[in-house]
Amino acid sequence: HISNDRKVIMYEQMKAMNIDVNAPVSFDKAQLLCFESFRNSYPDDFIDQAISIYK
């Protein structure tokens, strides 16, 4: 289950990352989407460090 608030954040981030909600996406891109969607909940340096593992 995804809350309505989380859906709004995810859809906005998907648009920013050019991800089509109806198209397949790679695991790495989906993982980056998840990290980016939590930027408003965690410090930027924490998110940046997590993202650096996948790049």
Question: pLDDT, tens digit, for every residue of 22-39?
Answer: 999 999 899 999 899 888
| pLDDT tier for residue 48 given thresholds of 50, 70 and 90 | very high
Residues in contact with 3: Cβ distance below 8 Å, sequence separation at least 6, in sequence order: none
Tell me if 25 sits within 8 A of 19, measured CB to CB. Answer: yes
CA angle 10, 20, 27 (to 5 degrees): 75
Task: Evaluate if pTM is beyond 0.85.
Answer: no
CA angle 27, 6, 52 (to 5 degrees): 40
Residues in contact with 36: Cβ distance below 8 Å, sequence separation at least 6, in sequence order: 13, 16, 17, 47, 51
